[in-house]
Amino acid sequence: MSLDLNTIWFILVGVLFTGYAILDGFDLGTGALHLFTSTDKERRIMLNAIGPVWDGNEVWLVTGGGALFAAFPEVYATAFSGFYMAIMLLLLGLIFRAVAIDFRSKRESTTWRQFWDISFSFSSILSSLLIGIALGNIAWGIPLDGDFEYAGRFIRLLHPYALLVGITTVALFMMHGAIYLLMKTEGELQSKIRAWVNPTIIFFIICYILTTMATLLYVPHMSDNLKAFPPLMVIPLLNALAIANIPREIHHGREFRAFLSSCAAMAALLALFGIGMYPDLIMSNPLAANSLTIYNAASSAKTLKIMLIIAILGMPLVIAYTSSIYWIFRGKVKLDSSSY
């Protein structure tokens, strides 16, 4: 692996989508857990735990999508044509989630709030599931023709491996969201959430083991780069250690450390995904020759170079904005007249 412009952009796009997964992952996880409590006040606290940050977290998705379009336009085109229905459903889920957050507390009506509570939870679960299904299909491979266009139907994307990755993603986000809520709440609600954390960890670990086994058995090419470059084996080791550390930190009441371990586990998982895919961006199955790679799908070297300069200037701003928001809204959630 040479660190050329194409590889640098592969890493940068991966970093942006990893940032999105970590940050919006706990938002989606909070949504998935939203109906686990039935009182209006507790649901409002859960909403306001993500209220100041959820829209800023989606900046990472927009930035990642923009970077993908600029660096690898062929992939952008293929993804939008091949995954058109899935992407539209994902966008619908994300949009409906945003509407639910903003509209829920506009009226005192129990029916009104119940509708938006269900909408918020359902759209969060749907979005998480679709993200995982997309990742599962990218790893498994999709049928591409000689023009790099998807030669199949939407229903073909819903095969068992993709669904397993989708369910694992939902489980991961639920665990991540539960740990985040544990940091942001107190009193009786925190005690309730503490009771949810271990089941979400167990749910994720079961899904994680099943997905790992299925990947090794049915998608063996995802481990080729690890075998070819053994030092990279440190990443699955770190991933396992991060996951194992989560229940340990929860047991000792160190929620912030547990959250950092959850973030590290997610980063390591996506790093493993990137390593497994490299240099492919979208694998063609069964005709591997039609796969989109970081070379045949890339913009010109001049474009990549100019965009790299822009990224070097822009990324610190995104990081600074994200950091400042989290610093300003640190601490436990307190409801007031301006709360959701």
| Residue 66: CB atoms within 10 Å | 15
Q: Report if residue 337 sits inside a domain.
A: no
What is the per-residue pLDDT across 149-206, written as a single tens digit (0 to 9) for each? 787 778 888 999 999 999 999 999 999 999 999 999 998 999 999 999 999 999 999 9
| Residue 72: CB atoms within 10 Å | 27
The pTM is what? Answer: 0.94
pLDDT for position 337: 63
| Residue closest to 13 by CA, chosen among 57, 70, 86, 91 | 70
Amino acid at 72: F
**Average pLDDT value for the chain:** 91
Q: Report if residue 335 sits inside a domain.
A: no
Q: Report if residue 336 sits inside a domain.
A: no
| Residue closest to 29 by CA, chosen among 55, 49, 8 | 49
Q: Report if residue 334 sits inside a domain.
A: no
pLDDT for position 150: 80
Query: Lowest-confidence range among 14-18, 128-132, 220-224, 336-340?
Result: 336-340
Identify whether the C-beta of residue 152 lies closer than 8 Å to the C-beta of residue 297.
Answer: no
Q: Report if residue 174 sits inside a domain.
A: yes
Average pLDDT over residues 318-325: 88
Query: Lowest-confidence range among 96-110, 247-261, 279-293, 326-340?
Result: 326-340
How far apart, in whole angstroms, are the C-alpha atoms of residue 44 and residue 28?
15
Amino acid at 335: L
Q: Domain limits at 312?
A: 5-328
pLDDT for position 332: 87
For β-strands 292-293 and 280-282, DSSP reports them as antiparallel
> Is the pLDDT score of 82 beyond 80?
no
The length of the chain is 340
Q: Report if residue 19 sits inside a domain.
A: yes
How far apart, in whole angstroms, are the C-alpha atoms of residue 326 and residue 49?
11
Identify whether the C-beta of residue 117 lies closer than 8 Å to the C-beta of residue 97.
Answer: no
Higher pLDDT, 242 or 59: 242
Q: Report if residue 249 sits inside a domain.
A: yes
Total structural domains within the chain? 1
Q: Of the spans 99-108, 142-151, 329-338, which averages the highest pLDDT?
A: 99-108
How far apart, in whole angstroms, are the C-alpha atoms of residue 180 and residue 28?
11
Q: Report if residue 340 sits inside a domain.
A: no
Contacts 24+ apart (CB under 8 A), 4-7: 5/301, 5/304, 5/305, 5/308, 6/279, 6/294, 6/295, 6/298, 6/304, 7/278, 7/279, 7/294
Higher pLDDT, 78 or 202: 202
β-strand partners of 150: 144
